[in-house]
Structure formats: structure tokens, C-alpha cells
Amino acid sequence: MTVADADRATFSHDPVMREEIVGVFADVPPGTILDATLGGGGHSEALLDSRDDLDIIGLDRDPDAIEAATERLERFGTRFRTTMRRYDDIDGGLAEHGVERLSGALFDLGVSSYQLDEGSRGFSYRHEGPLDMRMGPDASWTADDVVNGYDVRRLAEVIRRYGEERFASRIATAIVAARPIETTNQLAEVIVAAIPAPARRTGGHPAKRTFQAIRIEVNGELEALPLAIDAAIDRVVPGGRVAVLSYHSGEDRIVKHRMIAASDRCECPPELPCICGAVQTVRIVRKVAKKPSASEMERNRRSTSARLRVVERIAEES
């Protein structure tokens, strides 16, 4: 039995904001959509079902995801192609399939349910597993390197920056004191014990933010994100769109900044006329990030922090 056979049910959950994503790409020109974070292929399936004049190239670092999505979307034949790459290697992924321009690009920056629920991947604070957290085998760093290798100051900075955890120093000190830590359950217990009791009772699982921070550090996610968004915008044809689903404020700030930068590249002082020759390349489709519907958030708790931002490529003035 293949990985995809065994885990199809896990990979086949409804993708976050499925209908909203279909709506984003409903009127883009015919052509290729880049699903830069393929996962189980849920968004790709919805897009391919919605229009027969679109095809998909799916990128993912996780070979399990590639295998599951390929089997799930086999019915679409050559309209669906994949490549195992990180989402900032857009140029390489398109070159592999001989594609120059895109009708759209989608980034879903969340961790898949499969990765969270499969203890052996090391992402979960609820399931026993090794300190791994790599999105794919190409990652040179693991959670063990961070948890058992960083000094207390560096560890606290990671937890504070990427997890926005107000007890980062306390947690980092507790982790260093408890070394060696060997499993995700051990790590979660240390984190929970380091947080004051009143704070543990609000805001979800007490270890959530620290696990998120370590995952981001291991995979270099935020460093790759600005490059990936810029590359996608550069590849999209006029009328095409780039959509990004983010799940915490650090990601959303980067997405918002890159989209604003692309929509207003003028570097002249705002009180003076533009003389720098900057050319606007995109328009922001919605100035305020869109959230999932109340019914979706009730049905899928993992969607509650999702934020959708979209830009549309415009024709450059001649």
C-alpha cells in the first residue's frame, strides 16, 4: 500500500476557504495556475473542477504530499503536474514544465492536517513523535537542532519573533534546563510548565505558539516568503492573480508588505510628483484581508486564524 493509499482520508479534508479561492481565480485568463503549496491537492482539485481551461503546476517539499495529490488528481490527466520544490523556487518549478507565464498563483501557508496529525513528522504538540518538523527531506535543520542546540538567548528570540510568545524567555530557559529533550511530548510538557497557570487557560494549547516558532525556524519559512511572492507576481500575466492564505500575523505582515510594494513601487517623497519612473504592476483586490466564514470556522477550527490577501496583475503602460 502506498503512502497515498494509507493517508488519503487524512489528506482529503476540505481546504481552507475553498469557495473563496475558487472565486479569486474565476475570471483570470485561461492558462496555468501555480499551486505553490500543494499539500493534499484540495485547492488544486477545486480549481480544476471549476474551469476546464485551467491547468495546475503543484509545488511541495513533502514527497508524501506529492504522492497523495498525484493520486487524488489523477483524473485530470495532463492538466495537473507536480514538482518537489520549496515555494520560493518558482522559476525552477516552471522551467521543469516548460512554462513561462502564469494565469495565477496560490500560496496556502498553513501546515496540512496530515503533517499535524502524523506524530512521526514531529509537528504536533498533541501526538508523540521525534523532534523533526521538516516540511521536506531537503531541509538541513530539524527541531532537535533548535531545541537542543540553540543557546537560551537565540532560542528565546526565535520563540518571540516567530511565535509572538510573551513568555519566550521563560520557555527558552526551561527548555535549556531540561535538555536533552527527545520527543514532542517532552517538549510540550516543558513549555506548559514554564507558562504561568492563569495564562495556560486561555488562547488554545499553551505550546502552540512555541511549536509554530520552531517549525518556522527549521524550515526557513519567513525568509523564503517575500522572494516567493515577488517571483509569483513577476510571472503572472495581466489579469492574473496571486492569492496568499496566511495563518499568523508575522506571515500576514510580510504578505501585506510585498503586495503593497508591488502596487506602489514609487520611491519618491509622497509630497512630491513621481520622477523615479516606477511602474505599478499590480492592484490590490481587497485592502483588508478576508477571513473564513463563521460556518467554516465552526466546522474547521484550524481555519480560524486564516487571512486571505489577493493582488491582480495589471498591464504596464506603454
Which residue is it, cell 510568545?
165
The two counts, helices (H) then strands (E), for the chain are 15, 7
> The pTM is what?
0.88
- pLDDT tens for 115-155 read 776 777 888 888 889 999 998 887 789 999 999 999 999 99
Rounded average pLDDT over 280-299:
91
Question: Within 13 A of 225's CA, how many CA atoms are on the CB side?
Answer: 24
Q: What are phi and psi of 136, to 5 degrees?
A: -160, 165
Which residue is it, cell 492592484?
283
- pLDDT tens for 194-218 read 999 988 888 788 999 999 999 999 9
